[in-house]
Amino acid sequence: MNNHEIWIEEKYELKNGRTLKIRVTKSIEKITSKFQKIEVVDSKSFGKILLIDGVIMLTETDEFCYHEMITHVPLCVHPDAEKVLIIGGGDGGTVREVLKHDNIEQIEVCEIDEKVIEVSKKHFPDLANSFNDNRVKIYCEDGNKFIKKHQNEYDLIIVDSSDPVGPAEVLFKKEFYQSLYHAINERGIIVSQAESFFYHKKIIKNLFSFINEMFPIYDYYYTLVPTYPSGIIGFAFCSKKYHPTNNFNKQQFLKLRNLKYYDEDIHKAAFALPVFAQKYIE
């Protein structure tokens, strides 16, 4: 390897003896906020990359695979969602996708770290310009505390979090899901970042050990993201009324424009899990 080459490495996975390395062309920004290290680098293959505490949050070239799937799956199941809460999501990618649904009247974003929003506005305008829409209200607060102040209120809550280390650790706990349960209304849906079935068996099994007691309808689905460890990432789908595939709402889907990943077939296929992974959510 040439000594002048710069590589980034997924540090979260290093402790398990596996790594994902990407060669970067330059470092653009590096700051330490009250909560974490935030970094932006540029790369030949993936464009600009946002890292938090050394973990890849998104890259310009594949972020749509994640943001379309965390958003359109629940919003093409709920027939008429109006009020959405996003916990995390400070880069703006999830807000951008939620805004593609014309029935949405209000989007609240609860991002603990205002610096993530600031950095994203500066370096990822394709995502963060979504914050300028007047239906969006931003709260820079701890999601776990914020959610306790809201009951029976949201049609959809999206937990667009980082991994369960540091400030996001609490977002993978039973107590947080109890609060989420009370914060959605009787037709509400929750979708949360739930890691990869290849690398995170323990995390997924633990999540579903309480999700399956709390929610009458639940499932796990996934999307392909080449710059996340193992190349896939999954989501927990928790619902009080609507079934993730039986209640797919074609009318909602047909209204959507500018999609690069999500469509009706992908919606259904995303819930088809390999046999070994089906056991994780039982």
- Residue tagged active-site, from 53, 91, 113, 160: 160
Q: Which span sits near ligand SPD by CB under 6 A: 37-45, 85-93, 105-113, 144-152?
A: 85-93
- 185 CB-contact burial (10 Å; exposed 0-12 / middle 13-18 / buried 19+): middle
- Is 62 near ligand SPD (CB under 6 A)? no
**Residue 31 CB partners (closer than 8 Å, separation 6+):** 37, 38, 39, 115, 119
Q: Which span sits near ligand SPD by CB under 6 A: 55-63, 110-118, 213-221, 268-276?
A: 55-63
- Is 155 near ligand SPD (CB under 6 A)? no
Query: Between helices 174-183 and 201-214, what is the axis angle to 10°?
Result: 40
Smallest CA-to-CA distance from 76 within 265, 224, 220 is with 265
CB 13, min distance to ligand SPD, A? 9
- Which tokens belong to 229? 């460890």
Looking at the Cβ atoms of 52 and 242, the one nearer to ligand SPD is 52
CB 88, min distance to ligand SPD, A? 7
- Is 68 near ligand SPD (CB under 6 A)? no
Q: What is d(CA 248, CA 108) in angstroms, rounded to the nearest whole number?
A: 24
Neighbour count for residue 105 (Cβ, 10 Å)? 11
- Which tokens belong to 134? 């007047």
- Is 234 near ligand SPD (CB under 6 A)? no
Q: Scanning the structure block, which residue is given the tokens 């999601």?
A: 143
β-partners of residue 217 are: 239
C-alpha dihedral, 237 to 238 to 241 to 245, nearest 10° = 20
Q: Which of 36, 59, 71, 162 binds ligand SPD (CB under 6 A)?
A: 162
Q: Which span sits near ligand SPD by CB under 6 A: 91-99, 147-155, 171-179, 216-224?
A: 91-99
Q: What is d(CA 52, CA 162) in angstroms, rounded to the nearest whole number?
A: 8
37-43 and 21-32 beta bridge pairing: antiparallel
Q: Which of 38, 55, 65, 128 binds ligand SPD (CB under 6 A)?
A: 55
Q: Which span sits near ligand SPD by CB under 6 A: 39-47, 53-61, 250-258, 272-280?
A: 53-61
Q: Which of 160, 179, 191, 220 binds ligand SPD (CB under 6 A)?
A: 160
- Which tokens belong to 125? 């305008």
Looking at the Cβ atoms of 232 and 266, the one nearer to ligand SPD is 232
Active site residue 219: no
- Is 143 near ligand SPD (CB under 6 A)? no
Residue 242 CA to chain centroid, in angstroms? 20
- Is 130 near ligand SPD (CB under 6 A)? no
Binding site for ligand SPD (CB under 6 A): 55, 57-58, 66, 89, 91, 93-94, 160, 162-163, 193, 228
- Which residues are known catalytic residues? 160
